[in-house]
Structure 1
């Protein structure tokens, strides 16, 4: 998969470019690399580990040059054993370190579920806070490289169901850096999913249109040095009055592109963290617009959109003017050649927006 990743993502080892105004612009891979670099410098307890993260710099190059700069005891390769990677990280966290294990693709995280669910998520409670598990599990997730069933899944709802785990999904380089720093500093285990389809640029969802570059996007301006974005705070991408669109990761950009193209005054809320969820921001927006649509790439049944729909129904029932709409992936294994049909795109999202407006 490394050859595919190189061609599709084109990650660079440089730390961005400066625009005419002197602002530093990074793509998401560079922003993640920057956050890891800063935390390795700031905190001697931060450790990066995983398959190919050391000399090779990661399959998507998110850890490029970090071993060279910080040494083999701080950034190191592991055997191909996800249960071993996460299990060792739990022990490191209990010992006092802050490990940042990388699972090469989210699809490979399942062998480590027992360590995450039975150990990491419960350690603070089981030990009456004597021990904690401050690990941040990074992993690329979702479609984007025609990886099919074993390189394209979106398993976020599995982790949002587990008490004790936090789940973070950024949608911009600026947020990726700030959220990752906050996740590493958090004393609880965090699942940090990186939408690989937008590693190199925001994406409108059209197969026949090239991926845009982050170079001119407002949220690609990433300040030098340390900053953090608190977990549990949603971001209003655009304000509107006709409907609220709840999304995260890649779907933020697709929904925004559809609303702009169809000239719909939609308020788009980027959740950023699913757990903890900024439910107050969700309530405020839905009460304002009276209509709600939820978009995510994962399969529909038991997807996180179902939880969002229930919460909105419970908390905003008397403000709703139409049934809640969900646009999601299909309840099928992720297809290889039909990835673009599976992916919630402009046509399905546009139809749902039209239906909401008519409701």
Structure 2
């Protein structure tokens, strides 16, 4: 079962890709200051077809194809945001965002602070992330934690179709830069899309209620956690599934409330274990929820290698349901 949702809210079924597109259409329709820019977002329809048809609908002034220069067009987006526009910048894949790291970290994230609050940068950057499509080591990583480390940024990871549909509008309403990470393995998945957001974008949600162990995840791995919870139920274990949704700022209260109820935690994070978001969450639990724990916190992360190309090696490098179940069983056994 899903918790923290409104059962009275009507919904329709669409793919995750269609939910993302619906959010873009709504944003572009409601506010003339909003425009979309990035590599191949216009004539090609987006690398993952999220913006397909938008050029014909909104025109070349608002759906803007850019040169292959992430530092350049992210910088243009920052300038437009400072000038009163509401730009949505699409970076084709998270790996390419490193080419714009200086603009994102040294400029967008710092201008409010450096100007003493005189300037805001209401910029939204969308980027594809995650592995599973055999796109190899330069197109497949989960580097959300890189950006969740940076004060001045907000970092979102929509795992559900409702969040894919509605988080963009919430991000555009924020006065500061927001990064949205869209996992590529979700794009073709169908799902229900409610008419309104589940919650404010900064709030973590309990997607499945449980009492024995907390499975904590986000983005593309949330559904693996939910599947693992179903399997654990067959063994008589009631697993609660926490969807972090927002990685900076983290909703510590929801996270800790779950752990204090279940007394055990497994964190599932597609990033590498060394320096991971999973490590940060584990530290939060240790610092603020240690006396509630009945067993050590466990982490399921990607193997410490560049994401391989061959499918069997790629899958072997990623967190899998079987690993989550095994970690939860070991935690319940006190191992």
User: TM-score scaled to structure 2, two decimals?
Assistant: 0.93
Residues 66-102 of structure 1: per-residue CA shift (max 9 Å, x gap): 1111111111100000111111111111111111010
Q: Is 1:221 equivalent to 2:196 in the alignment?
A: no
Q: Give the Cα separation in 1 of the matches to 2:48 and 2:35.
A: 19
Contact 1:31 1:222 in 2 (8 A): no
Q: Verify the 8 A CA contact 1:175 1:229 in the aligned structure 2.
A: no
Q: SS in structure 1 opposite 2:117?
A: coil
Aligned partners of 2:140 and 2:184: how far apart in 1? 9
Name the residue aligned to 1:255: 225
Task: Answer yes or no: is the 8 Å Cα contact 2:162–2:197 preserved in 1.
Answer: no
Aligned to 2:94: 106
Give 1:138-217 correspondences, 5 Å limit. 138-201=126-189, 214=190, 217=191
Q: Which residue of 1 aligns with 2:35?
A: 47
Deviation of 1:241 (Å): 0.7
RMSD (CA atoms): 1.3
| Structure 2: unaligned runs, 5 residues or longer | 1-9
Q: Distance in 1 between matches of 2:137 and 2:197?
A: 36
Distance apart, 1:228 and its partner CA: 7.7
Q: Of 261, 268, 274, which residue of structure 2 is paired with 1:288?
A: 261
CA distance in 1, matches of 2:164, 2:199: 9
Q: Structure 2: how far apart are the matches of 1:161 and 1:262?
A: 33
Q: 1:221, CA displacement in angstroms?
A: 2.8
- From the superposition, tell whether residues 41 and 294 of structure 1 become closer, same or farther in structure 2 (CA, over 3 Å): same
Q: Distance in 2 between matches of 1:39 and 1:88?
A: 19
Does structure 2 retain, via aligned residues, the 8 Å contact 1:244–1:285? Answer: yes
For residues 12 and 201 of structure 2, the distance between their equivalents in structure 1, rounded to whole angstroms, comes to 24
Q: Which deviates the most, 114-123 or 274-283?
A: 274-283
Q: Deviations over 1:97-131 (max 9, x none)?
A: 11101011111110100000000000111112221
SS at match of 1:44: coil
The question of 1:304 aligning with 2:277 is answered yes
| TM-score relative to the length of structure 1 | 0.87
> Gaps (5+ residues) in structure 1?
1-21, 202-213
1:256 to partner: Cα distance: 1.0
2:252 maps to 1:279: yes
| Bigger relative contact order, structure 1 or 2 (CA pairs below 8 A, ≥6 apart) | 2
Distance of 2:178 and 2:167 partners within structure 1:
11
Correspondence list, 1:66-77, <5 A: 66-77=54-65
Using the TM superposition, give the Cα deviation of residue 336 of structure 1 relative to its aligned residue in structure 2, in angstroms.
Answer: 1.1
Q: Following the alignment from structure 1 to structure 2, what is the Cα–Cα distance between the partners of residues 146 and 229?
A: 34
Could you tell me how far apart the structure 2 residues matched to 1:23 and 1:265 are? 28
The alpha carbon displacement at 1:262 in A equals 2.9
- Counterparts of 1:254 and 1:110 in 2: how far apart (Å)? 28
| 1:329 alignment partner in structure 2 | 302
Q: Distance in 2 between matches of 1:102 and 1:228?
A: 24
Secondary structure in structure 1 of the residue aligned to 2:289: helix
- Cα distance between partner residues in 2 of 1:122 and 1:246: 30
Shift of 1:132: 1.1
